[in-house]
Amino acid sequence: MLQGKVALITGSTAGIGLAMARCLAGKGASIMLNGFGDPDEIATLRDEIAGLSGSRVMHVSADVSKPDEAAMLVDSATREFGRVDILINNAGTTYKAPIEDCPPEKWDLVLALNLSASFHTIRTVMPQMRQRNWGRIINISSAYGLVGGTNRVSYVASKHGLVGLTKAVALETAATGITCNAICPGDVSTRIFYKSAKDLANQEGITREEAQARIAAVNMPSGRPVAPEQIAELAAFLCSDAAAEVRGSALSIDGAWTAR
């Protein structure tokens, strides 16, 4: 399905980004990985993902919270692969505290990574996508991009902003072969989720499964987290020809969290 396409995925050495890299590679895309981690582990990941499709996989550890590094990442991918057809803005972070305890530098960092990084990568990739009249831009927002929440003001504001950026770019490209959409996951079963469940299980003397269900049930009517692989399949759908007229959407995958 994605043979010949090149996908750049920010924050793809772990978690949801890594699941998307594996999924798109499995469908034939070449992949530019980005993110931090142990160089040997990243080299192993590169080989593993390359083995899924036989396509090339590269890695650049740019810090996309820095404007010049975000733009440089797009340029590096273009230089290495000759093009970027799919851009997934996934790298993100959070800071948990009530607003009066949120240091301004944490606000700046969360906004820089969760929102401004996407501005910089999109504006850098757009000319070449317009030239080929084809592109897929996917911004990984959150359920917190659609509804509020306490003690995470920078996260909620940045993820709402990312949905706004998505709509604006989708309108600017509406008459082209380029689409721009957001995915808004609820709780996802990444390492942090499992660690929180393990800690809760130890604290409360309950099983890990009970702890996972208890954590998920706080926000998710489904009572269970979303798997990274499920988000990856949604992203792959957005890259398909079938999704060519899905434009400016903020697609929820959240166990009915935001349906209430």
Taking CB under 6 A as the criterion, the residue among 2, 6, 8, 16 binding ligand NAD is 16
Q: Which residues contact 159 (CB under 8 A, 6 or more apart)?
A: 114, 141, 142, 144, 145, 184
Known catalytic residue at 95:
no
- Exposure b/e, 218-239, CB count within 10 A at least 16 = b: ebbeeebbbebebbbebbbebb
CA geometry: angle 45, 50, 53, nearest 5 deg: 140
Pick between residue 92 and residue 161 the one whose CB is nearest to ligand NAD: 92
Find the shortest distance in angstroms from Cβ 150 to ligand NAD. Answer: 16
13 binds ligand NAD (CB under 6 A): yes
Is 156 among the residues that bind ligand NAD (CB under 6 A)? Answer: no
Which candidate, 168, 172, 155, places its Cα nearest to that of 115? 155
Structure tokens at 253: 């995958």
Q: Does 140 bind ligand NAD (CB under 6 A)?
A: yes
Q: Which of 90, 116, 179, 219 binds ligand NAD (CB under 6 A)?
A: 90
Bridge partners, residue 32, by sequence: 8, 58
Q: Does 113 bind ligand NAD (CB under 6 A)?
A: yes
Q: Which residues are catalytic?
A: 155
Binding positions for ligand NAD, rule: CB under 6 A? 10-17, 34-37, 63-65, 90-93, 113, 140, 142, 185, 187-188, 190
